Amino acid sequence: MPALAQESIVFGVHSKTAPLEWRNNGVDQGFNIELIDRIGQLMDKRILVRRKSFQQLVKDVHNPDSDIDVIAVVSPVNLDRKLSQSDPIYATHAKAYTLQGKALINSWADLIGKRVAIKKGAFVDVYLSGYPQQFERIDVDLYETGFQRLINNEVDVVIAESFVARRLLPLYPSVRSSSDALIYGAFNFVCNGKKSALMDQINDALRQLKLSGEYDKLVNKWFGTGREKVDLTSTQQRMFWLAILISIISAMGMIYTGFISVSLHKRKKALDAELMQRRRVEAEISALSKQFQSVLDGMPHGVTIVNQAMQRLWSNDNNIHLLVSPEFRYIDNHPFQLKSAVLDTLSDQHSLTADMVYQQQYWQLQIHPIAHDQVVVLLEESTEQHRLRHANEEASRLASLGELSAGIAHEINNPTGLIVHAIALFSAAMKDLTPAAQHYIKVNPFWQIAGLEPVKAMDELAQSCDTINEGAQRISRIVNDLKRYALPHLASENTAVSLNEVVQVALRLTANQTKTHEVIIELNSPTPMVMGDAQQLHQVLINLIQNACHACPSHTGRLYIQTHLTAQHAKISISDNGCGMDSATLKRITEPFFTTRRTEGGTGLGLSVCSRIIKAHNAEMQIHSSQGKGTQINLIFPLFQ
């Protein structure tokens, strides 16, 4: 028995929904079951299917001693479960369901104040844990329980996963789909965290199936366009064939018996039964076809099939308008003609892949021949990828600029050093010449220096020497700060850093931006010390000071910069009286490429880089802002011991 357990993977199943997982004639079948069985063959392990309730499976997969190794669940596309999980298996979505006659649900805002049924532990529940909503949540154990409570007027809306809802809707005719997809999800295999090695093997096998094309064959088998999967039970199949057999017997009885009227009556009954069966099957096929069409329509990418005569054979209608828009052009600004592109693809029988631009968006266009006179046209937005490439190029340019700045700083340091040295000589000479000047005044009372009385001229010269020396020292400090800022980052060179010095360096490098604002500085004594990279912390504070200056009005803006020290933490606080941010902006402020200053040249990378640097220092960045009331940002560091 122990040897058998080592060579087996127990796959937990709870679903009754075709084509994913269900049982027909006592045989477990479906896409997930066939996929995990093929993965087991590649891993040289036997797959054992075990059916339990959904709640029990979720409990088992969190228990390292459970007899369940792997289950298939849905996770929101933008959230990961805390369990060890595989690559995405197949897409799905959840949407709202209400009673017939109720208003449609167009967005989450339409759910405010309503009683909404949520299945506990399902992917809708996982998604909402990160996105609190303003409705009354009613937890249920099954989506079917939610539908029952909907009929009993105990809830107003049920948010259910689409594959399950397809099975339930025929059982609850008073319930209808009342929204487009609210949440997109993906099926994944998950297992307990202690079995992460097993999940690594499953992922390797899954990727091997994808690379070999077997995964695509399975998807086409169970979900492919033009193939509808109807869950016919064994009883229905036997009744169908029995009806055909009765029909044949009735026809033979009509020929070989003299009881023509009885035979006709039996034949009529058989034909009626067969007609009812056909109508029921056709209705199920039509409903399933519409549901699959809704899944294809819900895909964010455009898919269109056209023939040589430019007739559109099928399309999910996503972004189809781009193909005929004169603003849809190649990235080098050459015009795009769909007809010529299709004809060239069919003529060469080679796929076309091109980067396109439409207004301020970037797209990838693919045209693939699928027959001698048909092509499939795929459209996928690539704006973020384009911006990322642009950001990489910008980072390279900035690196070059840093090297150039370091070189210029070196060149400035040389004449600055000469100035400091010369001024020191002039100051010493002035002290020595002062007695001689006083003596000469007695000899020649009318003697002047540069048109001034000798005493006043000597004072002016001394003051000028001090002013030149102070200016040269300031140039030297700024150049040294610039050289340190331009140094390449070495993660292994973390040292003890003074937060007071970080503030002072950042203020010197942003003096040009802060000169039109009132800046109030409160530095803690003794200075808070942290372990980190001074160059990177300079970069963070410079970025935050510049952002505060942009947010504040000129000449009336105020910036407060403070350092604090507690028993366990050191803190820098930057606050301003600027325009502030609304809650929607505040949620996305650290996302790469998100900026409210796009038209003014903002890239949206500043706070994203700052957030990454702060996390690398095991620190925390807290942002508090109200629109029209200003912003406060706290950088909280673990104290250097």
545, amino acid identity: I
Interval 230-239 mean pLDDT: 46
Q: Are residues 30 and 155 in the same domain?
A: yes
Q: Is residue 238 part of a domain?
A: yes
| Residue that is last in its domain, among 278, 297, 316 | 297
Does the structure show a pLDDT above 60 at 491? no
Q: Are residues 502 and 452 in the same domain?
A: no
One-character DSSP codes across 588-621: HTTSTT--S-GGGT--S-HHHHHHHHHHHTT-EE
Q: Report the distance separating Cα 433 and Cα 555, nearest Å.
A: 46
- Res 399: pLDDT: 58
Nearest-5° Cα angle at 325, 322 to 329: 80
Interval 463-485 mean pLDDT: 74
For the ranges 11-20, 378-387, 434-443, 524-533, the one whose mean pLDDT is highest:
524-533
What is the band of 590 on the pLDDT scale with cuts at 50, 70, 90? confident
Does the structure show a pLDDT above 70 at 188? yes
- Res 1: pLDDT: 38
Q: Are residues 508 and 606 in the same domain?
A: yes
Q: Report the distance separating Cα 551 and Cα 607, nearest Å.
A: 14
Q: How many domains does the chain have?
A: 5
**DSSP-derived secondary structure letter, 335:** B
Q: Are residues 414 and 467 in the same domain?
A: yes
Q: Are residues 150 and 254 in the same domain?
A: no
| Residue that is last in its domain, among 223, 245, 264 | 223
pLDDT, one tens digit per residue, over 130-187 is 778 889 999 998 889 999 999 999 999 999 988 888 888 888 999 999 999 999 988 8
- Res 299: pLDDT: 67
Q: Is residue 163 part of a domain?
A: yes
- Res 397: pLDDT: 58
- Res 228: pLDDT: 39
What is the band of 406 on the pLDDT scale with cuts at 50, 70, 90? low
Q: Are residues 534 and 600 in the same domain?
A: yes
Q: Report the distance separating Cα 542 and Cα 546, nearest Å.
A: 6
Q: Is residue 512 part of a domain?
A: yes
Residues linked to residue 572 through DSSP beta bridges, in sequence order: 563, 635
- Res 2: pLDDT: 44
More confident call, 337 vs 601: 337
Q: Are residues 367 and 399 in the same domain?
A: no
Residues with Cβ < 8 Å from 349, sequence gap 6 or more?
Answer: 369
| Residue that is last in its domain, among 460, 486, 512 | 486
Does the structure show a pLDDT above 60 at 233? no
Task: Provide the mean pLDDT of the chain.
Answer: 83
For the ranges 208-212, 442-446, 597-601, 637-641, the one whose mean pLDDT is highest:
208-212
- Res 231: pLDDT: 42
Single out the residue of 622, 624, 590, 593 nearest to residue 608, CA to CA: 590
DSSP reduced 3-state for 113: coil
| Enclosing H/E stretch for 358 | strand 352-358
The two three-digit tokens of residue 125, written as one number? 């529940």
Interval 91-106 mean pLDDT: 92
Q: Is residue 20 part of a domain?
A: yes
The answer to pTM > 0.85 is no
pLDDT, one tens digit per residue, over 371-394 is 788 999 998 888 888 777 776 666
Q: Is residue 228 part of a domain?
A: no
User: pLDDT > 90: what percent of the chain?
Assistant: 28
Q: Report the distance separating Cα 279 and Cα 236, nearest Å.
A: 14
- Res 237: pLDDT: 54
Q: Is residue 229 part of a domain?
A: no
Q: Are residues 324 and 395 in the same domain?
A: no
Comparing 316-325, 481-490, 509-518, 577-586, the range with the smallest average pLDDT is: 481-490
One-character DSSP codes across 432-475: HHHHHHHHHHHH-TT--BTTB-HHHHHHHHHHHHHHHHHHHHHH
One-character DSSP codes across 137-188: EEEESSHHHHHHHHHTTS-SEEEEEHHHHHHHGGG-TTEEE-SS-SEEEEEE
pLDDT, one tens digit per residue, over 520-571 is 999 999 999 999 998 889 989 998 999 999 889 888 899 999 999 998 899 9
Does the structure show a pLDDT above 80 at 482? no
Q: Are residues 354 and 395 in the same domain?
A: no
| Enclosing H/E stretch for 239 | helix 234-256
284: domain range? 234-297
- Res 633: pLDDT: 95
- Secondary structure (H, E, C), 55-109: HHHHHHHCCCCCCCCEEEEEEECCCCCCCEECCCCEEEEEEEEEECCCCCCCCHH
CATH number, residue 344: 3.30.450.20
CB 137 within 8 A of CB 151: no
CATH number, residue 105: 3.40.190.10
159, amino acid identity: I
- Res 585: pLDDT: 86
Q: Are residues 214 and 337 in the same domain?
A: no
For the ranges 3-17, 210-224, 240-254, 316-330, the one whose mean pLDDT is highest:
210-224
* Number of other CB atoms surrounding residue 416 within 10 Å: 19
- Res 151: pLDDT: 94
CATH number, residue 624: 3.30.565.10
Q: Are residues 377 and 259 in the same domain?
A: no
Q: Are residues 218 and 339 in the same domain?
A: no
Q: Is residue 447 part of a domain?
A: yes
Residues linked to residue 117 through DSSP beta bridges, in sequence order: 138, 158
